[in-house]
Structure 1
Amino acid sequence: MLSFVKIARPWRRLGLAWALGLLGALATALPGHTAENLIVTFGILQRSIPIADLERFATTGELTPQLQIYRRQLQISDEQLSQIQEALSTPVSLSSVAVAQFLYTEQGILLLEQIGRVVQTPVRQANVQALRGALILAAADPEADFTLVNVLKTYPTEAMRIDLAEGLAIAQEVNQAILQSQAAFAQVQAIATAKAAANPVDAEALLQLVQSERQYGIDRIQVVVPGLPSPAQLYLPEVLPGQRGVPAEGFPLVVISHGLGGTINSYNYLAEYMATGGIAVATLEHPGSNDQQLYALLAGLSDAVVQDEEFLRRPRDVSLTLNTLDRLNQSPSPIRGRLDLDRVGIMGQSFGGYTALALTGASFDQAGLATACPPGTLSFNPSLLLQCQAARLGNPGSGLGDPRVKSVFVMNPIGSALFGPTGYGQIEVPIMVVAGTADTVAPAFPEQIEPFTWLTARDRYLLLINRGTHFSTIGDIAQGNQPLPIPPELIGLRPELVWEYMQVLGLAYFKLTLAGDQRFQPVLTPAFADALGGEPYLLSLVTTLTPEQDAPENPAEPPPAATPLPDAPLSPPPPAVSP
């Protein structure tokens, strides 16, 4: 940790200098005035609202006579009015450096172009530079919070135009996506509940079975991997006096691949738990998409969130690690004969989930990427901004696969557009897919539930965590020194409960799929998952799901276009009593 701090602090100083220089350039490049009015257009109709009136409303809740007229015309309810006030006034904790650096990346520019369909200059033109300048200057304002109303105030033209027709069209699409997701969640939960009721298990005895496997200590060994800049960490089960010994063929091995911005320590809690249960675990750091890469982006030392080639490097990082462990396992070394490289599993989260799927030999869906990329609207699925980078690489086919991989366990994986039905259909090894209903980065329906229906592997499991977020499974997400601190409401309540679920189910899953221990089959059932989960994170597990089941053909009609978007299930859950 000390070496980490020594690296991070100079980058922060560089980032501050870079930001000050950028703000100085903006001050001279952009017009010397800021927006005073918000022009709202709907076809040929047009209304002008003083931004000062919106600021007054955001601060006090008081409507000027003009805003009162608009409220009556649009029939805005008290609840909707409260939501609008909250949207205008809620601060976002992001530094000007973070905002500026992201908005100059490929993903940031694409996002600005999408927003430009709705937010325009007074002469009805999208202006990426003006919108970028407003966002950066609002984030850098030392006297005001980074809020939507402050962005309106800093827009560098005399007025900002909002194309209401485009905005409502986007809202309609997002509403439909949310309704479709909610319908899919309900379907999965209903199927799991019915299966659990029809096939009960002794959950307490099964939990004791999992716990009873933890008879080993942990021998932590740093492994230098040629081709990687930092060593991998091996968590090797250590035989304790009076306990079981090393299996004749060696311990099964699981490699953990972290997500974008993660570290080698992001899943210590999983590695340690599984090692004590007789599964060796190797963790590694992907240098092109770890926390240091994000620090480099924020410091101006990188112009991209990740480079395109990272989609190819990540699976190869894992294969290089396996090559090294295989060599050490067959030669005089502390691990000789203690690993079974014929029984290898991969765990991955988010971008690490992509990595795990690629290692199964799933190929890219070039046609699907061409259709989905670039996203034409403000997508309900932000992960597409990352997936679309792979469209420039060409299709590596099954070249990223590693035949040693016999089982995968993926949490919040991305890959719907990247792999498509064809790529997912090529996965033949057992697979567990974990999804969270409150994941706003890689939303559960498009990124996990629908792709689950494309799987043809004989052994497949889908675990839905009610109120689980994109960050619930990450062990070090709430610690300090994060490149981009994640607000607690995005992490979710008591993520340590989700970690416990991942420990129990992860150990049982690999005991079954790698060690072939059939005693653990009942653990991977709807009834056990239902019993294991508790408020605020209920669990639903299914082993089959067809495209007809994942969402009804005619989900509930979306609300009228002028109605604010529903916030469930993406809003943070209310406080709840722990199980």
Structure 2
Amino acid sequence: MSHSLFEYVRAYLTSHGPRSGLNPPRMTVPTTERRWGQRLHSILALGSFLAAAIAPAPAIAAEEIRFFYSVAALTLRVESLAAFAADGTTNANIRDFLRVVKPTEEEKAKFQRTLVEPVEIDPLLLSRLLNTDEGDRLLTVLGNTIEIQGGINGKPALRAAMIEAANEPGGLTVLGFFEQLPVNMQINLEKALWRAKQAEYLVGATERLVAVTKAIGLEEAEGYPAVDFAQLPNPATPGSATVVRDRWDLEDPSRDRSFYVDVYRPQSQETGEIPVVVFSHGLTDEPESFSELGELLASQGFLVVMPQHPGSDELQAAALIDGTSRQIFHRNEFIDRPLDISYTLNELERRNEAEFGGRLNLTNVGSMGHSFGGYTALATAGATLDFEHLERDCTPTGPGRFNTALLLQCRALKLEQPLPNLKDDRVGSVFLANPVNASIFGPNGLANVTVPVMVGAGSYDLSTPFVFEQARSFPWLANAPESFLLLIEGDSHVPIPDLDGGSYFAVTSVIGLTLPSEDLRDYYAEPFQAAFAQVFVAGNEEYRAYLNPAYAAYLSQDRDFDAVLIPQASAPALQAAFAAEAEEFRKL
């Protein structure tokens, strides 16, 4: 999933209006991000307060909040909260609550501020977001903990209270949310604390799996033939070809679908075949976001095509915010995206003789993708959807219930079956960056991928978490003749300068992580993307030396954050470590 939806939301909430056009301006981290982070603090405080600190409780109906723990119960009146928020008044009711919670003076002061800190959010926009499929699923999960009295899922009451509180003159606040709850609610502290314990364990599990992956990579590096990488050029060095960028407007009448394709064409004096790479962008993103990669590969002699995916791009995100759509993405994008790739390759075949002198090599295409685009690339390479596996993961108690990427994947359960064949036999290799893949394909679906694959992951990825997506699924690519996992320590779902306010605030303030330099992703990812394309798309064996765990170790010298590369042969060790963590998680 991409940052772009959040960028749109942020622009809307800060009264700049949604972006429009094909090339909207991008916001960067500095002042705007910090301001958004401060505002988002209230949203995050509300979520953590409800899901962990206050956890589920009955009885609020604008009168009281009741917390249950085993056979004990504690009631907190809203009027007591209001008095405490106003001037710190601690009546007997508040004192009883604080006696149980035992906050420090600093925590108590923060709690007081959190109750009344406003979240500047348009109530209409909030209503639209909460009524998407993804918003509905989030509310269902929260409603399993914060229930309507009698044990009924609290989703309808939570949605109504959030929207009504946002309509208040002072904006959405935690206190206002409590006051707007229409019925008594029950919060089971035991269940909430259990979920908090699980979440805490997953943070540690991620750290341990990253450490295991690094150890595997270092051990693998010692087993490879020694290479003096200092004497070799960086594979991400731009080539000598001049790059011409075109845009094609395509129309597929069989699907009544129109989309554009950004084309990066190399202009050089060389003859012979031209290798082809097709790239799929992520959810709520656009082809233009990956122009640097297109320019780089084209300068090295590749023809690079990047299709737009209408229905899951930035324009679709704008439509949601404008109110002209009710969803973040169209469900049929699970089918249309891979078919967009195939239709783009069909267009290349139609133009090959007239525009490229028949030189395009369309029998061994490299398929690349980011996030939802990673799903897309895998589908074109033969990965099949496993609905039984997906349904198990999408249950409230499934193994991926803390996986944010499930918000996207679970929507596929409503697709009409049988699905059309999404595999394209022209695809000969796949490079995936932060792919959405584990639940929707599962081990059976990924076993159908029989072409070389490189999977890129980031240890700071909050959208497609390493522990749920790449660490879990990489071992399932055992039938790929050559597959690699590239883990970039400190990398997030999008480059640091493009982090949305929520992710920026979460990793720096909530999780307390130290962010790496802005060049982290390009520094590590581009050399491996270029080398992978040279070897498996262009057939240039001189670049195989870079597909080496030792090269990742070489690049990591004198860097605060490391990169590690492991081959499929080491996947069983990662799988064993993941299985051990999963077993401990089940015991919680």
TM-score computed with the length of structure 1 as normaliser: 0.79
Partner of 1:259: helix, strand, or coil? coil
Partner of 2:250: helix, strand, or coil? coil
Maintained 8 Å contact 1:35/1:160: no
1:351 counterpart = 2:378: no
Partner of 2:240: 215
Structural mapping, 1:61-76, within 5 Å: 69-73=96-100
Maintained 8 Å contact 2:531/2:543: yes
Partner of 1:526: 549
Identity across matched positions, percent: 30
Maintained 8 Å contact 1:437/1:466: yes
Structure with more of its chain in helix, by fraction: 2
2:468 to 426, 429, 446: 446
1:205 counterpart = 2:221: no
1:417 counterpart = 2:439: yes
Partner of 1:155: 181
CA distance in structure 2 between the aligned counterparts of 1:60 and 1:547, rounded to whole angstroms: 59
Maintained 8 Å contact 2:238/2:296: no
CA distance in structure 2 between the aligned counterparts of 1:394 and 1:374, rounded to whole angstroms: 20
CA distance in structure 1 between the aligned counterparts of 2:432 and 2:506, rounded to whole angstroms: 20
Partner of 1:571: none
Structural mapping, 1:135-214, within 5 Å: 135-144=162-171, 146=172, 148-157=174-183, 160-197=185-222, 199=224, 201-206=227-232, 208-211=233-236, 214=239
Q: Which runs of 5+ in 2 are unaligned?
A: 1-17, 25-59, 508-514
CA distance in structure 1 between the aligned counterparts of 2:132 and 2:175, rounded to whole angstroms: 24
Letter in 2 for 1:350: S
Maintained 8 Å contact 1:117/1:163: no
Partner of 2:278: helix, strand, or coil? strand
Alpha-carbon shift at residue 371 of structure 1 (Å): 1.9
1:229 counterpart = 2:245: no
Maintained 8 Å contact 2:20/2:315: no
1:115 to 142, 149, 160: 142
Partner of 1:568: none
- Equivalenced residue count is 518
Partner of 2:392: 371
Structural mapping, 1:12-411, within 5 Å: 35-51=62-78, 69-73=96-100, 95-122=122-149, 124-144=151-171, 146=172, 148-157=174-183, 160-197=185-222, 199=224, 201-206=227-232, 208-211=233-236, 214-227=239-252, 228-239=257-268, 245-249=269-273, 251-330=274-353, 332-333=354-355, 335-376=356-397, 379-393=401-415, 399-411=421-433
Partner of 2:566: 542
Q: Deviations over 1:361-410 (max 9, x none)?
A: 11111221232234447921021122122223356578100011111111
Maintained 8 Å contact 1:189/1:540: yes
CA distance in structure 1 between the aligned counterparts of 2:351 and 2:23, rounded to whole angstroms: 33
Partner of 1:382: helix, strand, or coil? coil
CA distance in structure 2 between the aligned counterparts of 1:312 and 1:198, rounded to whole angstroms: 42
CA distance in structure 2 between the aligned counterparts of 1:537 and 1:231, rounded to whole angstroms: 37
Alpha-carbon shift at residue 313 of structure 1 (Å): 0.5
Q: Which moved more, 1:406-415 or 1:132-141?
A: 132-141
- Residues 204, 83 of structure 1: CA spacing in aligned structure 2 closer, same or farther, 3 A cutoff? farther
Q: CA RMSD in A?
A: 3.6
CA distance in structure 1 between the aligned counterparts of 2:112 and 2:566, rounded to whole angstroms: 41
Letter in 2 for 1:277: Q
Alpha-carbon shift at residue 441 of structure 1 (Å): 1.7
CA distance in structure 1 between the aligned counterparts of 2:108 and 2:491, rounded to whole angstroms: 29
Q: Which moved more, 1:148-157 or 1:109-118?
A: 148-157
TM-score computed with the length of structure 2 as normaliser: 0.78
- Residues 47, 426 of structure 1: CA spacing in aligned structure 2 closer, same or farther, 3 A cutoff? same
Alpha-carbon shift at residue 135 of structure 1 (Å): 1.9
CA distance in structure 1 between the aligned counterparts of 2:76 and 2:284, rounded to whole angstroms: 41
- Residues 285, 6 of structure 1: CA spacing in aligned structure 2 closer, same or farther, 3 A cutoff? closer
CA distance in structure 2 between the aligned counterparts of 1:536 and 1:147, rounded to whole angstroms: 39
Q: Deviations over 1:216-264 (max 9, x none)?
A: 110112223232523211101122xxxxx33412x21111111110112
Maintained 8 Å contact 2:20/2:318: no
